[in-house]
Amino acid sequence: MNIDTMKLKDIFEKQPVARDFFDSIGIELFDENLTLQEYIEKVDEETLEDLGLSKDFILENFKEFLNNLSGIEENSLHKVNSITIVGGYNKSGEKENIEIEIKTGEIISIVGPTGSGKSRLLADIEWMAQGDTPTKRRILLNGEVPDRDLRFSSEFKLVAQLSQNMNFVIDLSVREFLLLHAESRFVENKEDVVDKVIKKANELAGEKFKGDTPLTSLSGGQSRALMIADTAILSKSPIILIDEIENAGIDRKKALELFVKEGKIVLMATHDPILALMGDKRFVINNGAIVKVLETSKEEKELLSFLEEIDKTLLYYRNRLRYGERLFKNK
Amino acid sequence: MKLITISGPPSSGKTAVIMKVIESFKLQKIKVGVVKFDCLLTDDDLLFKKHGIPVLKGLSGALCPDHYFVSNIEKCFNWGLEQGLDILISESAGLCNRCSPHIKDITAVCVIDNLSGLNTPKKIGPMLKSADIVVITKGDIVSQAEREVFAAKVRQVNPTAKILHINGLTGQGAYELTMLLMESDDVDTLEGKSLRFSMPSALCSYCLGETRIGEKFQVGNVRKMDV
């Protein structure tokens, strides 16, 4: 569309969210029967001065705002089916001999001692490194070098993150907040999507909650469940990075299944054997490089059920403790 | 030398971000100095000194902080040249949200944090709206959803800026910012350059030390609310 000759009301008809721009810079839309240029000429200087705005600023930024909106539509076509990590160098300057592709639906655990370079690997992925980070790694999307501009696109974020330390800090109900998130992503049929997130979160959480529950009164397990369901369904990022998930008040297996079902790539930085063995593979990091890629073996999968039994036993005793009961060797 | 203006609301994490950025620059053998502008008090200069970073401190005291900034930045810039710096970072807090230290043709960074509330981007003036790079901090303690909504709100008020997420504690994202900052042009002098936007003005009796309340004590550039 040609923004220069169009009346504002016609622009808004095509892009209703374009109105938000004027609201966010604090300028009233007093006449929509004007073109952008005509409108700007009529905004009085004193208002601009008070707000710290200039006519050029409004003109350029409104156009950029509309560009970003159309970029969102293009980006939604930008589907990531795989990422490839092309090795660089370790901290001693030796070659990291690896080129590995991770496909959507895969769950990868990342293990290694503190300071081994786990965070740098995850940062390389997030930044879509092209030999321009200390490790000299390269990251490909769908086997190709990604467009450099994608790094700063607010609409295309490669990685969504979940960690133990994250909280909801906003004072809204679950539903109100999810609607806000859906709006910021320009999701159509947002009510349905929000319902789906709440439903899925309740399937993951030990204790149920409703849409009108305030975010800040959710329990730890409920918060985590909601973050997981929201990230799986509402976040467009194709990669989910998980930094441990505590095994309390939440079904971790179902959580991972949800990510896989939503077509995500899951990377987990964890030293919890139960979580790590739920993954398909694990990357072993040492001295700044991936030194081994281990597929979860059949024996390890069997071990997983054994570990889960231990975990259940611990949970049983924890609950007895919580309710003031005595603990006995035989359950 | 490159000059970078870094501004942002109080406690948004400017100093932490600058420390991490300088650590990363040091590894790349790039010499960075800081000029720290504050109002009443700051100990941050000691923090920079402790890390062997050349630092200047300017306290505006009873003057408007940003007016103080613009009256002194040229002198600080020349100091940076004398020190043989590759990069001089100026740090100042935008205290009234209408102020902005950003200069035309000089890379401008605004630091804002995820905890400051979803309406905050709207409330901040040219400091955020005219910045080239917006750094969002404290993302490690809020949910992915809140990070996404907050970044979308920032994008709404500044559709052209590059938005980066930096963890001021671990330094994640700081290396990426250094790469962006290295793209800035070198400048020889600030003489003749201008601010991106005029600063808020006032020239009334209260500017000159009046403390009494009442119409008859108000002289000069005084504006009245519609009540």
What's the pLDDT tens digit per position in B43-98? 888 999 999 999 999 988 878 888 889 899 999 999 999 999 999 999 998 777 78
Same domain, A133 and A47: no
Q: Give a yes or no: residue A319 inside a domain.
A: no
Q: Is residue A240 part of a domain?
A: yes
Q: Which residues pair with B6 in a beta bridge?
A: B91, B109
A51 within a domain of the structure (yes/no)? yes
The pair phi, psi for residue A140, each rounded to 5°, is -110, 145
List CB contacts (< 8 A) between A123 and chain B: 172-173, 175-176
Q: pLDDT (tens digit, 9 = 90+) per residue, B164-192? A: 999 888 888 898 899 999 999 999 999 98
**Tokens coding B51:** 């890390």
Task: Give me A277's structure tokens.
Answer: 């063995």
Q: How is residue A45 written in tokens? A: 């200087």
* A271 falls within a domain: yes
> Of A37, A59, A75, which one is at a domain's C-terminal end?
A75
Q: Is A69 a residue whose pLDDT tops 80?
A: no
B197 closest CB neighbour out of A52, A154, A177: A52
Q: What is the pLDDT of residue A72?
A: 63
Same domain, yes or no: A69 and A165: no
- The string of DSSP codes covering A236-256 is --SEEEEE---SSSB-HHHHH
**How many angstroms separate the CA atoms of A227 and A233, rounded?**
10
A216 against A77, higher pLDDT: A216
Whole-Å CA distances, A47 to A26, A65, B96, B100, B130? 10, 21, 17, 17, 17
pLDDT at A154: 67
| Residues A134 and A30 reside in one and the same domain | no
Q: Would you list which residues of chain B are within 8 Å, Cβ to Cβ, of chain A?
A: 27, 98, 100, 114-115, 117-118, 121-122, 125-126, 129-130, 139-146, 148-149, 151-160, 162-164, 170, 172-173, 175-176, 179, 197-198, 200
Mean pLDDT, to the nearest integer, of A299-313? 92
The shortest CB-CB distance from A163 to any of B114, B130, B140 is to B140
Strand partners, A283: A110, A293
Phi, psi of B120 (to 5 degrees): -60, -45
Q: Are A65 and A86 found together in one domain?
A: no
Cβ–Cβ gap B160/A53 under 8 Å: no
Question: How is residue A206 annotated by DSSP?
Answer: S
Task: Give contacts of B153 with chain A, Cβ < 8 Å.
Answer: 24, 184
Of the two residues A74 and B190, the one the predictor is more confident about is B190
Chain A: give the shortest CA distance to residue B122, in Å.
Answer: 5
* Residue A317, in any domain of the structure: no
**Spatial CB neighbours of A306, under 8 Å, sequence gap ≥ 6:** none
Q: What is the C-alpha separation between B150 and B138, in angstroms, rounded?
A: 12
What backbone torsions phi and psi does residue A60 show, to the nearest 5 degrees? -65, -45
Q: Do A137 and A90 have their domain in common?
A: yes
- DSSP-derived secondary structure letter, A233: H
Same domain (yes/no): A190, A248: yes
Examine the domain organization and report whether A110 and A181 are in the same domain.
yes
pLDDT category of residue A12 using cuts at 50, 70 and 90: confident
The arithmetic mean of pLDDT across residues A190-217, rounded, is 93
pLDDT-derived band at A239, boundaries 50, 70, 90: very high
B27–A170 C-beta distance less than 8 A? no
Q: Do B145 and A119 touch (CB under 8 A)?
A: no
Please tell me the total count of domains within chain A: 2
Of B156, B162, B198, the CB nearest to A20: B156
Higher pLDDT, A134 or B15: B15
> In B73-173, at which residue ranges do the beta strands (DSSP E only) sit?
87-93, 107-113, 133-137, 162-165
Q: What's the token pair of residue A251?
A: 């079904």
Closest partner residue to B146 among A53, A163, A170, by Cβ? Answer: A170
Any bridge partners for residue A95, and if so which? A89
Give the whole-angstrom CA distance, residue A215 versus residue A172. 6
3-state secondary structure of A315: helix
Q: Answer yes or no: is A282 within a domain.
A: yes
Backbone angles phi, psi at A59, to 5 degrees: -60, -55
Nearest to B175 among A49, A51, A133 (CB): A133
Report the pLDDT value the prediction gives residue A71, as an integer from 0 to 100: 67
- What pLDDT band is residue A45 in, cutting at 50, 70 and 90? confident
- The reply to whether A122 and A264 lie within a common domain is yes
Cβ contacts from A onto B, under 8 A: 114
Query: What distance in Å separates residue A309's CA from the closest CA in chain B?
Result: 31
Residues of B in contact with A49 (CB under 8 A): 198
A182 and A271 housed in the same domain: yes
| Beta bridge pairs of residue A286 | A289
- Residues across chain B: 227
Does B142 contact A168 at a Cβ distance shorter than 8 Å? yes
- A162:B198 CB<8 A: no
Contact A152 B164 (CB under 8 A): yes
Boundary (domain end) residue, out of A75, A92, A115: A75
Whether A145 and A261 map to the same domain: the answer is yes
Answer whether residue A88 is part of any domain: yes
Structural domain containing residue A55:
8-75
B142 touches A168 (CB < 8 A): yes
Residue A20 sits in the same domain as residue A99: no
**Residue A16 counted as domain residue:** yes
* CATH of B2-189 among 3.40.50.300, 3.30.300.20, 2.60.120.560, 3.30.300.30: 3.40.50.300
Token pair listed for B16 = 């932490």
Residue A319 in tokens = 């609950």
CB contact under 8 A, B170 and A24: no
Q: Are residues A219 and A250 in the same domain?
A: yes
Nearest to B176, CA basis, from B158, B163, B185: B163
Domain end, chosen from A16, A42, A75, is at A75
Assign residue A115 the CATH number of its domain: 3.40.50.300
